[in-house]
Amino acid sequence: MIKSISKWDDEFFKLFVDYKNNYYKWSKLYLLESVSEFKAFLAENSAFNENNNWQASLMFDENQKVIGRIFCSTRQDEFKQNDFLPFGFFEAKDAKTTKSLIHEVEAFAYMHSYSSIRGPIQGNVFHSSRLVSRQSMKPFYGEPFHNPMYKEFLVNAGLSINQTWVSGFFGVKGRILGMTKYLKRFSKSKSRRANYKIRQMDFNNWDNEFKLIYELLMDSFTSFDDVEKLSFEEFKLWNEGIKYLVQPKNCLILEHENEPLGFIIAYHDLLPEIVALKRANNLFNKLRFLLRKYIFRRALLVNYLGKKQKCEGKVKGVAPKLFTKLAKNNYGFIFNSVIFGFISEHSKTLDLVPKVYIESSDYIMLQKSVTYTV
């Protein structure tokens, strides 16, 4: 049996959250979900709820035990696109359960006149998305965490891969061979004398600075075929938590004649510490978090990089300039490994990054034409 709802229900979402938490709670790298996080964007007065029609589904076995879940949504504001219906928050016991859940999504897509579904997308790609198809290292903060069989389950349900990404890990050898060459190449650029400056984000003016990041991302990423714009209120709800992970020297904005053209945000991987805090918010875990953030640092994650689409006519090489400054702020990455996260197969960043990294993870997005009929 499948139960689907489109309005907030505390009891339903407790089951929705508990199903995943109980499945993965054994892992010290799994970040527990909470009912309050879902309520923040699905309750009646939330920005996402006001701008989207959505459906959350749970599948039960004959003993009324949850064996699967899925979520899908369609925007009803000016950002609505008709190319695909996004689905996400997918978890399933097996391939048979997966087929039933995907059929439920197709029914919702058919009702809203979509010809295809695409996912996993947890409400919006600016929240979280993708499926891990291969992983050679431990997960880092922000990576999807799921059963490795899900790719097989979804393909068996009729979906096919429509886009891929990669995360690149630069260890000692990679930094020596790649970063030095990269910085040397772009330090000789003739455009270095262009009228631009790179400044740190003003943490005392965080709301306005974060709105600026949002606007640059909307301009930069909306050319990608998996992106659907969202409101600032939604973006802020899902992403403002990075404020507690970053340091000013790793949050940079490039400006030309006082016009922001691009930005880069990086932070050290704090996944184990964040997981521990989520499970027990005590003094020991808080101290452990602060020590990892400021002293005993892990790899630096470069997950946020964006620029205006037509900025090259004003300043050439915006992304390389930002990365060069980030490297200088971190002593040329001598003391820390670096991970370029979620580089799209269609991104120009893939051409800029030297091919001396270890592919720590590969990711996919899957799509299916809607075959549902009444």
Residues 6+ apart with CB under 8 A from 63: none
Residue 350 has pLDDT above 70, yes or no: no
The pLDDT assigned to 353 comes to 65
- Place 171 in a pLDDT band, splitting at 50, 70 and 90: confident
Question: What gap in Å lies between CA 346 and CA 119, rounded to an integer?
Answer: 17
Give the model confidence (pLDDT) of 254-293 as tens digits: 999 889 999 999 999 999 999 999 999 999 999 999 999 9
Question: What gap in Å lies between CA 89 and CA 252, rounded to an integer?
Answer: 32
Question: What gap in Å lies between CA 174 and CA 23, rounded to an integer?
Answer: 36
Instruction: Check if 2-164+365-369 and 169-364 are the same fold.
Output: yes
Report the alpha-carbon angle 10-16-19, nearest 5.
135
Give the model confidence (pLDDT) of 107-149 as tens digits: 999 999 999 999 999 999 999 999 999 999 999 999 999 999 9
- Looking at the domain covering 2-164+365-369, what would its CATH class be? alpha beta
Question: Global pTM?
Answer: 0.91
- Looking at the domain covering 169-364, what would its CATH class be? alpha beta
Helix (H), strand (E), coil (C) string for 82-143: CCCEEEEEEEECCHHHHHHHHHHHHHHHHHCCCCEEEECECCCCCCCECEEEEECCCCCCCC
Domain residue spans in the chain?
A: 2-164+365-369, 169-364
